[in-house]
Amino acid sequence: MKKILLTMVALVTGSLCLWSAMAESVENGRMFHNGTVQNACSMQLKLTNYGILGASDNFSNLIFPSYSGINYLYIGSLWIGGKKYRRNAAGELLYWVAQNPSADSALVITQNDPGWNSSLKVVVDTLTSCGFDGDRNLFELLPAYNPLMSLNPAVETLYPQYNAHDKVLKSLLSHPMPREFAYPDPQGNYCFTYPQNVTGNEPAFETCSAFYYDFCPFGTLGERDWGSSSSTNNHVPLKVAIEQKSYAWPLQNHDRMVIFKYTLYNASEIDTLFDIAIASYMDCDIGPASMGGTIATDDLSGYVMGPGYEFAYSKDNDFDGGVTPGFIATKLYIPDTVLNRDCYYWKVGDGPNDFAPLNLNLGTRNTANEKYWLMTGRNPNPGSATKYLRLRGGPTGDVMEYIQPTANDTRFLYSFFGQMPAGNGRPPVPWHLGPLQSVTFYQAVFADYSLDGLKAQSQTIEDFIDSGFSIGSTTGLTSMPYISYLDQTSTGIVDLMWFSYTDPDHFELMYKLSDAPASEWVSINLPGSQRSGSVGGLTNLEHYKFKVASIFNPGPDEVYLESQTIEFLIDDYNPNADEVVTPILLANYPNPFGSASGTTLRFDLKESKSATLDIYNARGQKVRSFTQTELRQGQVIWNGIDERGNALANGIYLCVLKAEGKTTVRKLLLLK
């Protein structure tokens, strides 16, 4: 039996395979990002490893309910703000020469300068790093392995080895796990999502892990921002690293939320980050994904204040005549911590500007860093009645439940932060982060069909996080099935295994040809206590789709819940021949595969020194070889990239493993 564990990669079919150039770009043959879809709950949420959620141009970034085609997110982004001392290239602190520096008196000196005296003020910069700017094509939180590595020849050889592994790693029941984050990385490769064949203790059924930075951990010189707007942007990093873990559960009362656990590291060995502010930017664009950009123009954003609440949300103004009935919300939370919160909204094109955060020539602007002002509850353009509008509390600041009065292509920035120097009636909570220190905070993205439903969920989420994610008793709860294993075990036969927290009345194991209409799904009825099944009589070299449904309470109160859909190619598999000819290559999954997800090749080698693993195209030309270092890991991931970093065309490729006097050949089907 050639076992395939789906903990490594999930192949999601249909519209969710369509990633935009933003989310999967190739520059000089270099893959920018490897994302995945969090799909173990009632939402399908696209995740990335560069500080953003969503970012697909086909408006299918958060589908709720799953597989409905109704989108509730265009792009979400993490913003980090703070203050830090300015230093020169030698690491020396800089001081203003003028007591009141301005654009024409911006000279700075070090303490070693003859003109220095103790009355001079140290230069403190106010900086912001954002996953996505909002209005401009600009990204400032990037994975370690991104196209800008080409500017650093010292680490050029690491790129082909680790790029495919620097991704969003999906784990089911805490397997496999990423490496533990450390800065500096003792291994020196800063690829923490290389899957470790161990089981951890994460609290969720489905955990997705990613790591990204606002600086280059390899020390690459030059600005480290990305996107077509980067040429006009002066990105000055805070020098932060972020570990992102997101949790999902296919269980009633937990299935309409994804909870993110962020750990923010100050990677500086000498500088404190002062007055930290953290924000969640959300541009939802709600409506049927098939309608494209037209769904963006009639959104409304709102905010609910008060203990247990403190969340911002968006909904479609008229619910598209009942087609789009849901609300999508987000909240930031740290247990047992009192912080200030604020939330502003604005329409497309009016976003805040921090393109030159060190520039003292402000022109008509009130601050060089409008993002940080908004993140810390200050309106950078108070003279405008239409630009930045307060969502939390409304215009007067004391409305407990407020929603913007007029629908438009709205987006909001929800933030929390410590005490600022001016006070402004805020509680005395300074929020600083010392050198090499970290802080953990949570963000919940959740959905429901009413504002009251969101309020109930918000309180549940706080209690859930406070409890350490204790699920408690599952008796009487419904659970979505999740396919955890799928493989062909004999000619024309596929075996499946799935997970469910609870037993339904019965399961339905369903399959059909991939291009057949929905009316041709074939259903096999299985007992609710069963967690595996087989499908036989399948045609060789045909693509099939498989899914599992749980049916609870048959009758007028029936609950019907479906798993994800898996696509699979049936081949001329011969188990007896496989055991004789190919005992050393155990599995590859998924197959077929897309360049974004890659395919994982797992093998068992007693000795890797003489082993070779090569990929050939259909003409017999070698397109990729893996190193001895990679083979020692017991598995490699190939994402359809050749030796030079070029993305290869769709088609059949052969994986040839030679070791221990034996040769193993597997067919791989690349479908982008």
Q: Report the largest interatomic distance among the alpha carbons of the chain, rounded to a whole angstrom.
A: 87
In degrees, rounded to 5, the angle at the alpha carbon of residue 443 between the alpha carbons of residues 437 and 444 is: 160
Q: Tell me, what's the pLDDT at 427?
A: 54
Q: Tell me, what's the pLDDT at 541?
A: 85
592 prior amide bond cis, ω within 30? yes
Instruction: Pick left, alpha or beta for residue 353 (phi over 0 → left; psi -120 to 50 → alpha; otherwise beta).
Output: beta
Amino acid at 412: F
Please state the φ and ψ torsions of residue 143, each to the nearest 5 degrees: -70, 165
What are the CA-CA distances from residue 630 to residues 97, 161, 175, 599, 603 (Å)? 54, 7, 20, 15, 12
- Residue 350 CB burial class (10 angstroms; 0-12, 13-18, ≥19): middle
Q: Tell me, what's the pLDDT at 498?
A: 92
123 and 97 in contact (C-beta within 8 Å)? no
241 and 39 in contact (C-beta within 8 Å)? no
477 and 503 in contact (C-beta within 8 Å)? no
In whole angstroms, what is the distance from residue 175 CA to residue 158 CA?
26
37 and 168 in contact (C-beta within 8 Å)? no
487 and 587 in contact (C-beta within 8 Å)? yes
Q: Which residues are within 8 A (CB) of 108 and not within 5 positions of it... i.e. 6 or more apart?
A: 86, 94, 95, 96, 97, 123
- Residue 595 CB burial class (10 angstroms; 0-12, 13-18, ≥19): buried
In degrees, rounded to 5, the angle at the alpha carbon of residue 265 between the alpha carbons of residues 262 and 270 is: 165
pLDDT tens-digit map of 514-557: 999 999 999 999 999 999 999 999 998 899 999 999 999 999 99
| Helix, coil or strand: residue 462 | helix
In whole angstroms, what is the distance from residue 21 CA to residue 91 CA?
38
In whole angstroms, what is the distance from residue 369 CA to residue 372 CA?
6
Question: Is the C-alpha dihedral spanning 393, 398, 399, 405 positive or negative?
Answer: negative
In whole angstroms, what is the distance from residue 600 CA to residue 3 CA?
12
Q: Which residues of the chain have pLDDT under 70?
A: 1-34, 56-57, 420-429, 572-587, 595-597, 606-608, 619, 672
Residue 239's beta-bridge partner residues?
none
Q: Tell me, what's the pLDDT at 479?
A: 97
Q: Tell me, what's the pLDDT at 112?
A: 95
The helix (run of H) or strand (run of E) holding residue 350 is none
Cβ atoms within 10 A of the Cβ of 183, count? 17
Amino acid at 556: P
**Among 420, 431, 397, 401, which Cα is nearest to 278's?**
431
Q: Tell me, what's the pLDDT at 384?
A: 85
Check residue 376 and report its DSSP letter.
T
What are the CA-CA distances from residue 384 to residues 326, 346, 379, 387, 398 (Å)? 32, 12, 10, 6, 20
- SS3 sequence, 163-175? HHHCCCEEEECCE
In whole angstroms, what is the distance from residue 44 CA to residue 66 CA?
6
Taking the model in full, what pTM does it have? 0.83
- Residue 371 CB burial class (10 angstroms; 0-12, 13-18, ≥19): buried
Check residue 5 and report its DSSP letter.
B
In whole angstroms, what is the distance from residue 152 CA to residue 242 CA?
22
What are the CA-CA distances from residue 97 to residues 46, 107, 123, 328, 440 (Å)? 49, 6, 10, 50, 38
What are the CA-CA distances from residue 147 to residues 27, 159, 293 (Å)? 6, 9, 29
162 and 191 in contact (C-beta within 8 Å)? yes
184 prior amide bond cis, ω within 30? yes
Q: Which residues are within 8 A (CB) of 231 and not within 5 positions of it... i.e. 6 or more apart?
A: none
Q: Tell me, what's the pLDDT at 461?
A: 98
Q: How far is CA 633 from the centre of its chain?
A: 25
Q: Tell me, what's the pLDDT at 213?
A: 98
Q: Which residues are within 8 A (CB) of 599 and not within 5 positions of it... i.e. 6 or more apart?
A: 9, 588, 589, 590, 591, 593, 637, 638, 639, 668
pLDDT tens-digit map of 244-302: 999 999 999 999 999 999 999 999 999 999 999 999 999 999 999 999 889 999 999 99
Q: Tell me, what's the pLDDT at 573?
A: 58
5 and 485 in contact (C-beta within 8 Å)? yes
The token pair at 339 is 């912080």
**Among 428, 389, 427, 426, which Cα is nearest to 408's?**
389
Q: Tell me, what's the pLDDT at 598?
A: 81
The token pair at 55 is 């970012």
In whole angstroms, what is the distance from residue 195 CA to residue 199 CA?
11
